[in-house]
Every structure is written in structure tokens, then in C-alpha cells.
Amino acid sequence: MIAWVVGDIHFGSDSMFEKIYKKHFSSKEAYIDSFIKRYNSMVKSRDRVIFLGDLGKENYLKKYLPKLKGKKSVILGNHDTLPLSFYQKYFKTVYQTPVFIHERIVLSHEPVPVEPGVINGHGHTHYIFLDSPLHFNLCIEHTDYAPVHINALVTHLKMIPEPNKSFLNEWFKDIQIWRGPNSGDLILDENQIIDIEKTILLRQNKKD
């Protein structure tokens, strides 16, 4: 299982340094050196680490990625435009889509929609946060320029209800279209979409 998550690091980016990192570091190199020290003080060689994309410029990645400990994977971001073979040199696994690391935790570069009870750790948005208790902005400037342990996300799961899997209570309950034979247990509208309230009432009356 993934042990650590690292948000967008943007090694060597002039624009990101000017917009964000300059507030805390004297130079791009000072930012990177500080990050590497914090990272290596937390991550052990056997730990699995997943980066959420937007890694940085090629020359900086060649120089600094080998200095980072752990078994590294990456979810490529919109700024990760080098050939796939380049990233495969430095990462054990290279993903181009969001990744579930737990049945209720999905990691991604850009935020992705999730059903109630599932949380999304993402990068990409930097100073923009989603008005959602299920989305976590893990860009490096919000994590004290250090990796985040997966236990922080797992702990949050204990504070939110699990996804409801019971019939007519699922997240997709409002868009269920009946395509089967006639059923006496369902009330459908003119578009064959299940009428939740009437169907629940029908089932309750049958029980009575």
C-alpha cells in the first residue's frame, strides 16, 4: 500500500517559484534542497510514495529525483509532457489516470468527482480549494513542503459515513433507468427512470 503522498512539486518552475515558493525560500534551489531534506527525513527506502504530477523541468528532475528515497510512483499531471519513457526511468509505476489506493481513497492530479463516503486527494489547484469535505488539496505548499502520510487520509475516513450501497440509496439512485421486463416492485416515470419516493412507498405498503 502507498505510504506517502506528494503534491505538485514543480521542480525548476520559474512561474511557480515567483507565485508561491518565493514567499518561503530564497531561490528555486533552496526550495528543492529543503524539500529533499524533509522528504528523506520522513520516507524510508522501502516506503511506497506516489507523486500527484506536475513534477517539473527535465534537467531538474534528472538531477534531483534520484536523491529522493522510496519506491516512487507518479500520476502524471497536465505539465508532465516529457515522453513516458523519461518518467519510467525514475518511477516504479507511471499512471495516466486517477488511482484508488484504498476502496474509499482515490488519488489524482486534478480533482475528480467522488461518491459520498469516498475521498479524493489531489493536486493541480494550488490556492484553490473545493467546497467539499471529500476533496483534499495536497499541493506541496499546503503540506508544509513535505510528504503526507496516507494515515492522515485514512483517519479522515472514520469521520464520514461509508458509501450507501442499499437499493435506492446509492449515489446513482436518481439516474437509474429500468431496462428489464415489467416489474411489480418498481414505479417508473415516463422516461423509465425509477421514481424513488413512489417505489419506496410501494415497498413499504407491501411489507405492511
CA 170, 172, 175, 177 torsion-angle sign: negative
101 falls in which pLDDT band (50, 70, 90)? Answer: very high
Band of pLDDT at residue 119, cut at 50, 70 and 90: very high
Q: What proportion of the chain, given as a percentage, has pLDDT over 70?
A: 99
Please give the model's pTM, rounded to 2 decimal places.
0.89
How confident is residue 1, by pLDDT bands cut at 50, 70 and 90?
low
Identify the residue with better confidence: 201 or 91: 91
Non-local (6+) Cβ contacts of 94 within 8 A are 73, 74, 76, 84, 87, 88
pLDDT at 199: 87
pLDDT tens digits, one per residue of 54-96: 999 999 999 999 999 999 999 999 999 999 999 999 999 999 9
CA angle centred on 162, ends 161 and 165, rounded to 5°: 125
**Rounded to an integer, what distance in angstroms lies between the CA atom of residue 137 and that of residue 27?**
24
Confidence of residue 200 (pLDDT cuts 50, 70, 90): confident
Q: For the chain, what is the HEC assignment?
A: CCCEEECCCCECCHHHHHHCHHHCCCCHHHHHHHHHHHHHHHCCCCCEEEECCCCECHHHHHHHHHHCCCEEEEECCCCCCCCHHHHHHHCCEEECCCEEEECCEEEECCCCCCCCCCEEEECCCCCCCCCCCCEEECCHHHCCCCCEEHHHHHHHHCCCCCCCCCCCCCCCHHHCECCCCCCCCCCECCCCEECHHHHHHHHHHHHC
Report yes or no: 199 and 168 within 8 Å, Cβ to Cβ.
yes
Could you give the angle at the alpha carbon of 108 between the alpha carbons of 69 and 177, nearest 5°?
150
Pair 162, 105: CB distance under 8 Å: no
What does the block give as the cell for 70?
A: 522510496
Q: What is the mean pLDDT of residues 14-19?
A: 94
**pLDDT tier, 208 (very low <50, low <70, confident <90, very high otherwise):** low
Answer yes or no: is pLDDT of 109 > 90.
yes
4-157 architecture in CATH?
4-Layer Sandwich (3.60)
Residue pLDDT, tens place only, 147-195:
999 999 999 998 999 999 888 889 999 899 988 887 778 888 888 899 8
- Domain coordinates of the chain in residue numbers? 4-157, 173-207
Share of the chain above pLDDT 90, in %: 79
Q: What is the pLDDT of residue 141?
A: 96
